[in-house]
Structure 1
Amino acid sequence: LFPFLKGILDQQELLEGPRGSENARFGSAIAMLADIDLDGFNDVVIGAPLEKQNSGAIYIYNGFQKTIRTKHSQKILGSDSAFGQRLQFFGRSVDGHRDLDDDDITDVSVGADGNVVLLWSQSIANVSIIASFKPEKISLLNKNTEITVKICFQATFRPAKRNNQVAIKYNATLDADLQSSRVTSRGLFKENNERYMQRDLVVRREENCVHDVFSVQEPSDAVNSLSLRIDVGLANPGSSPVLDTYSPASVAYSIPFVKDCGEDELCICDLVLNVHRKADDSKQQFVVSSKNRRLTFNVKLRNKKENAYNTRIQATFSDNLFFASSSLPSDGTEVSCQTGTAQSTVICQISYPVFRTGQQVSFDISFDFNLKNLQNMAVLSFRALSESKEEQELDNQVSLSIPLRYDAEIHFTRLANINFYEVYSGRNIPSTVNNFQDIGPTFNFSVKVTTGSMPVKMATVKIYLPERTSKDNPLMYITAVTTDQARGVTCQAQINPLQIGKRPYSASFTKEDFRAFKELNCKNVKCSTIACKLEDAMLKGEYFVNVSTRIWNGTFATLTFRTLQLSAEAKIDTHNPELFIIGENTLTV
């Protein structure tokens, strides 16, 4: 556009033509239109006869004050099916100075290859929208608040005729603005229980009003106003009159919430959060068992300043915990806790809709342990939130880390075939041992492992047997170790290391004085070890290790003593002793 002012020609604007259409010959035909949209300013039509494989197109630009709008208001293609045939070079010539059908609107003539097309101009409707609400503000104290919205439509027409009317379709959307809409609406229309309402309406010069009622849900945001957007379009696109291109097709209104926060209605709160673990003792470490598998915390919240709206406490916790329950405050304050969208989050709504100035609340919240995910630490974070502006955020969050141990719930017991054995010093002791019977009496015992409800997948059992004295006199001799290998119990031990029964063994014994001793165990004699492994243990299962031994008669016939207790020892540990605790993990056999 080159305006000619005071004898000077100067470039001011560029008209936007077809994009991505090279060689369309845009601008090869141009003509002034005598105010085709009846807004008091002349318009322009431009032809592009080679656009879209030579079928052609025209572009209409509307005048505005002393210039022309740079974006076209209308584009008509020569390939449009409304022409009944595919035109060629549509737009090679254009003209628009006269009203050809006597409707008081300038019409347009367009030249094409072998054709002249007359385009009848349509009348224009400008629809105005005014909405009002009753009540004008949303009360949070009434959970079933209903708002009546009155939407009034009125139209002006160009050219002005006595019986003009336009059929429109309008959409009303709650909780939306002109750019975006919320995922979850805070309001629903009563008629269809949706956030959207659509109606067809005929609009004339006289005001035409409709009434709708919507209910306000429990809002997640009670500070920012709830919006209503109204979008308008033709009920029958392509009909006359058309809607004014330059009039807004959408309007938006806001319905504020009633807030008791002083004259400025700016709510500035100061939430103070305290959380501590409830326990019978002051020990930091928590031992988890089937009878003690719940963590309980006392939560206290206080508001030191102005009202806090939509107050809530959000707790996030490690994946070795489950949210279990929450208690009701003794003063009747409403507290509702629910798991969030993430399984590791729980959100507690506090005194909805408003947590008032000076108000405080105390309640308990409990978590159960996830026994499928054992960890040595429970980590929790509590945070107080609201839609009001927080003055001091440092006291809104509490983080806790609790060391954990798990009671393995393993019971460790033993059963032996003899508890007392008497030695006779005058008995003949064979110097050559040909079989187990030549060694001495049988001492057989079993170690029993009983598992509980805790998922302990692996454990080790070690059995320590007195083997030799300090002067190398033999004490106990392992002849057999049996387990239920099919159930995952395996043992390693030196069984019959002297090959007795397969070849003769010459035994020799040395005199020793044990009158000062009451017991022979691994603290004062040398011991041998039986190492067993328990894998893939089942819950509430029973597992055995059976040990067969012989007591060397020759040693005790040679020793000097009054009464001696010969003690073996068995010990059990889990694969992760830092995580699991076994109450009684050592046995004396």
Structure 2
Amino acid sequence: MEYYCLLLLWICCQLGFNNCFNIDTKTHKIIKGPKQAQFGYTVQQHVAAGGEKWLLVGAPYEMNGPHQTGDVYKCSINRRNNGCSKLNLGRISLTNVSERKDKMRLGMTLTSNPVDNSFVACGPLWSYECGSSYYSTGICSRVNASFKFSRTIAPAFQRCETYMDIVIVLDGSNSIYPWYEVQAFLINILQKFYIGPGQIQVGVLQYGEKVVHEFKLSDYKSVEEVVKRARSINQRGGEETNTALGINVARSQAFKHGGRRGAKKVMIVITDGESHDSADLQQVIKDCEKDGITRYAIAVLGYYNRRGINPEAFLNEIKYIASDPDDKHFFNVTDEAALKDIVDALGERIFSLEGTSKNGTAFGLQMSQAGFSAHNVEDGILVGAVGAYDWNGGVLKETRQGKVVPPKSSYSLEFPEELKNHGAYLGYTVTSVVSARNGRLIVAGAPRFNHTGKVIIFTLKNSGELTILHSLKGQQIGSYYGSEIAPVDIDGDGITDNLLVAAPMFFSGGLEKGKVYIYRLTELNRFILEGALEIHNGGQNARFGSALAPVPDVNGDGFNDLVVGAPLEDDHKGAIYVFFSQQSRILRKYKQRIAAADLAPGLQYFGRSIHGTMDMNNDGSVDLAVGSLGAVVLLWSRSVIRIYTTVRFEPSKINIFVKDCQRGGKDVTCMSAIVCLNVTARTAIPPAQEIGIKYNVSIAERRFNPRAVLDNPAKLQPQNLTLLPGVETCKHIYFHVMETTDYARPIVFVVQVGLQGSDHGPVLDDSWPTVMRTELPFWNGCDEDERCMPDLALQSTTDLMTRNEGRSEGLWRIIEGNRRRMVVDVRLENKGENAYSARLNITYTPNLRFSSLIVKDTSDIKIDCYAEIKPRNEKICNVSAPFMRAKSQVSFRLEFEFSPTVVLDHVRVVLEANSDGEETNAADNSEEIYYSLNYEADLLFTRESHPSRYDIKSELALEEPGVIGPPFNLTFQIQNLGYFPVRDLQLNIEIPEMSKNGNRLLQISDFYIDKVSPESLNRTRSGPEEKVKGFVKI
């Protein structure tokens, strides 16, 4: 008993009662960063130029100078250099943009591209100024394999409506007076302009007889700089007003010196008189129209009013200079001092006419926050834009050829206009699946759609044509269904098998735990819900499903696996769950749970981000990087091995007839077992790595007196052994077999294997057995083909048959009243080879009761009988277990008692002998005894009368029927003195009724029967029935 307790304890220690497998939680590595920057919000394993491996860690709250922009850290995993360095991606922006940044959150989205070892980091809150508005369109930066900035990705960015090149053409001739009024107007209108990169830039030229460039378009980048320069502009003077020349120089020179491609061209002409070169105006204006220059013309009438001159011709000339219509582009003021009165009106007309799209669609991406999610595809990158189209969201694409922006109408079928105020947040996450039928399909989540969430599957052409193929809907309000999505290619054939959709705020069992839905992608591109992943031991706010990370095959079974994050589990400490796959499905029960509390104190939000695609420590196994608040944890995968165990015996069978040694003074059969052990790796392992294993051998004999015993009891203790992968090592174990009668069951030899250390090195494949049970059979004593061919034969006689009678069907036998038993004498003989599991079946009719089986001769063959529950009239007897020897026989007597209650007209006894072997002659394996029966009756009949005598005179008669003479009682009694019941007994009674003279003698007054059950009678009193010679028969 002590041995079995020790063995059980050892097995329990080897197998363990926990949910750990091959993700190492003992020798992990923690890389720390600034908590206030949310270091660890995202994490990516990355290979840089030269093959060096890094971790990319997003820190979306990182400061960059005075701005909170967020950033990305690159962290070395080399033991010699554990530091992280900031890439300073927050400094990167678009050119010619009035950048505001507005807490850019760079690193909130991070995705690496293994094709060219580049990566993309996005700041979805990146903002810029457009006039008085701030647009948060988002921005992403692509970084090459050398950690150098490659290009900016901003598919939602649109030029401001204030993206203008404005040239102001000032009349500085002598007639302008006073000049300071013109200069004040210039300063006022400049202060109305939104001057800066990506917005307005201004150039000023002054003309009279000649034209002078006061400053060019590209000279100044801010309102302050321009206003300061304007204050120093002096009146040039001149006797002539060559307005056509000034306009033409502005058109041909000013817009080219610092002018920007794509900027709207605006010219403001201010003059106080008719031009001296009016003949050139027609061509000059024609050229301006050709160059797309919008012209505002201001007529200053001070000169005309002071001299009382009719300004009609002057006004017509100025209207001709202004763009059509005149009411939008033409101004006139009474004098120079009145210029200040049109500043506001001029500014409003410039911005309203030049900055608004006719259909208003240009503003659908103003607050798109593109880069909230990102996903690499073959020809570019997809970015989620949750704020696009009034926060319904969208998915944009950037390629080498340009940006791809699907129109708002593309989403209208799944995101109807009546639900636009819900803020669906489409693009909260974006990924793709690969179908066998249609190739790559894009998948995007909208976790706030109709409050329950939605996922759409669609195609997107580079022309902007978006076609929605399918949609999946959430089930619970507020569950944030679709906030995380992941495709899983389980078998690694390049075709997506499952699509996972997370609802991390799913409410279940009174707690907000989270749930991950599993959809199977069919060959017909249908997504079939096949179940969900849930945890039942997590607490409130676990947020299971906040991170989904498909990972390559972790355990070496050939199928890719999955890791799910629950960052708020364990009071916000966090945990991750490892799920294995089989065939084409993800197993619903997680294989390993790794809690932050088991790794290091102080970890928070562990599991907020997960990435595992490569071997980071060069041991051949895929490793995991898990983000938390202010830290990233590197979890190494341990190699998975199998220990192959084979056992062979010398000799290969136990021959109990050969006692070749002695143990404890007894002759026994000595044997040896050769135990061979070999280690093979399911996942990568260095071929020279030594693996320490332990093994234990035992003989599974659960009895007080075991049939086999190890020669050396010390072998019962675990033995240590060091193996190299692929190299077999064998050990000899010696044992002996005791004298036994149990030859049928083989001896079971048990080898239990395990690893010497559980904290380091490889782990055992838990799908592979660690207990090897090998059976050692007994030699059956038959021919070399190991097939026993017995020949059982039965012979029987019975005491119902006389010595001279033969046995024939249908014989009648009378069973004497004193007979109680029936005896059958049987001889069972095995004429062939050993008969294993020899059995005798005895079947008999219900009028017999089995009494005994007694072996008659001195044979050592034992016969043990037992009754089957059903039917009752059957006995099964084991003959000489475990086998009946060849050429042996046994004689025995069967005794049956006749039933006193069950009486049949026959008796039958069937004997049948069989075994596990193949009978050479089955004809003599059965005997049948059958007789038809009659039973001898033993009846006693008595009569008693009272009075005993009554004299009747011959002349007397019963003349009056109503007059009755003295009573005369007759009592009859019948008794069955025999053993068996008597059936169908008939009693006839005749009494005299009339005398010879015809006088009536007797009249039956009463008749009754007692002490006999009514059902045993065929009839009762029937009255006079028949007259026979003066008698009445009843």
Name the TM-score class by shorter chain. 0.5 to 0.7
Distance 2:608 2:996 in 1: 118
Distance 1:42 1:445 in 2: 100
TM-score by length of 1: 0.57
Distance 1:268 1:191 in 2: 28
Residue 630 of structure 2 corresponds to residue 110 of structure 1:
no
Alignment of 1:80-479 (within 5 A): 82=598, 89=607, 92-99=610-617, 108-112=623-627, 114=629, 116-122=632-638, 127-131=643-647, 136-139=652-655, 150=673, 152=675, 165-166=692-693, 173=700, 189=706, 201-205=718-722, 218-219=741-742, 222=744, 226=746, 228=748, 230=750, 232=752, 234=754, 239-240=759-760, 242-244=763-765, 248-281=769-802, 284-285=811-812, 291-330=818-857, 332=859, 334-342=861-869, 343-350=872-879, 355=884, 359-404=888-933, 411-416=940-945, 428-429=955-956, 432=959, 436-437=964-965, 442=968, 444-449=970-975, 463-468=989-994, 473-479=999-1005
* Partner of residue 511, structure 1: none
Question: Is the Cα contact below 8 Å between 2:941 and 2:972 reproduced in 1?
Answer: no
Distance 2:867 2:496 in 1: 54
Matched to 2:1032, the amino acid is: C
Shift in alpha-carbon separation, 1:171–1:373, aligned structure 2, 3 A = farther
Question: Is the Cα contact below 8 Å between 1:79 and 1:87 reproduced in 2?
Answer: no
1:487 deviation in Å? 8.6
* Partner of residue 528, structure 1: 1033
SS for the counterpart of 2:921 is coil
1:26-84: per-residue Cα shift (whole Å, max 9, x none)? 99645669xx88x9x9997654558999965445799xxxxx99999x94345697458
Shift in alpha-carbon separation, 1:349–1:322, aligned structure 2, 3 A = same
Of all paired residues, the percent bearing the same amino acid is 19
1:330 deviation in Å? 3.4
Distance 1:16 1:171 in 2: 46
Counterpart pick for 1:21 among 527, 532, 537: 532
Shift in alpha-carbon separation, 1:257–1:150, aligned structure 2, 3 A = closer
Q: Give the structure with the larger strand fraction.
A: 1
Matched to 2:909, the amino acid is: L
Matched pairs, number:
464
Shift in alpha-carbon separation, 1:312–1:92, aligned structure 2, 3 A = same
Distance 1:463 1:263 in 2: 81
Distance 1:274 1:45 in 2: 70
Shift in alpha-carbon separation, 1:329–1:448, aligned structure 2, 3 A = closer
1:138-164: per-residue Cα shift (whole Å, max 9, x none)? 446699987767574757596689996
1:385 deviation in Å? 0.7
Shift in alpha-carbon separation, 1:22–1:135, aligned structure 2, 3 A = closer
Matched to 2:617, the amino acid is: D
Shift in alpha-carbon separation, 1:423–1:435, aligned structure 2, 3 A = closer
Deviates more, 1:461-470 or 1:249-258: 461-470
* Partner of residue 510, structure 1: none
Question: Is the Cα contact below 8 Å between 2:789 and 2:919 reproduced in 1?
Answer: yes
Shift in alpha-carbon separation, 1:214–1:291, aligned structure 2, 3 A = farther
Gaps of 5+ in 2: 1-433, 435-490, 499-517, 519-529, 535-543, 660-666, 710-714, 723-728
Q: Give the structure with the larger helix fraction.
A: 2
Matched to 1:314, the amino acid is: N
Matched to 1:449, the amino acid is: Q
SS for the counterpart of 1:99 is coil
Question: Is the Cα contact below 8 Å between 1:470 and 1:526 reproduced in 2?
Answer: no
Question: Is the Cα contact below 8 Å between 1:320 and 1:369 reproduced in 2?
Answer: yes
Distance 1:26 1:405 in 2: 90
Distance 2:732 2:586 in 1: 34
1:175-205: per-residue Cα shift (whole Å, max 9, x none)? xxxxxxxxxx99974699xxxxx97624323
Shift in alpha-carbon separation, 1:357–1:211, aligned structure 2, 3 A = closer
RMSD, matched Cα: 5.9
Distance 1:527 1:213 in 2: 94
Distance 1:42 1:22 in 2: 21
Distance 2:604 2:922 in 1: 69
Higher relative contact order (CA 8 A, sep 6+): 1
Question: Is the Cα contact below 8 Å between 1:155 and 1:203 reproduced in 2?
Answer: no
Question: Is the Cα contact below 8 Å between 1:78 and 1:88 reproduced in 2?
Answer: no
Shift in alpha-carbon separation, 1:208–1:260, aligned structure 2, 3 A = closer
1:122 deviation in Å? 4.2
* Partner of residue 560, structure 1: none
Distance 1:338 1:58 in 2: 57
Matched to 1:111, the amino acid is: V
Distance 1:371 1:321 in 2: 9
Shift in alpha-carbon separation, 1:77–1:430, aligned structure 2, 3 A = closer
Distance 1:91 1:464 in 2: 114
Matched to 1:99, the amino acid is: N
1:290-313: per-residue Cα shift (whole Å, max 9, x none)? 732322223233444444334332
SS for the counterpart of 2:993 is strand
Question: Is the Cα contact below 8 Å between 1:90 and 1:113 reproduced in 2?
Answer: yes
Distance 2:672 2:545 in 1: 52
Deviates more, 1:466-475 or 1:310-319: 466-475
1:252 deviation in Å? 4.1
Distance 1:297 1:460 in 2: 36
Gaps of 5+ in 1: 3-9, 63-67, 175-184, 193-197, 498-520, 530-589
Distance 1:368 1:254 in 2: 46
1:21 deviation in Å? 2.9
SS for the counterpart of 1:204 is strand
1:391 deviation in Å? 2.7
Question: Is the Cα contact below 8 Å between 1:309 and 1:388 reproduced in 2?
Answer: yes
1:321 deviation in Å? 3.1
1:109-128: per-residue Cα shift (whole Å, max 9, x none)? 32246463332444666545
Shift in alpha-carbon separation, 1:474–1:401, aligned structure 2, 3 A = farther
Shift in alpha-carbon separation, 1:423–1:306, aligned structure 2, 3 A = same
Distance 1:317 1:51 in 2: 75
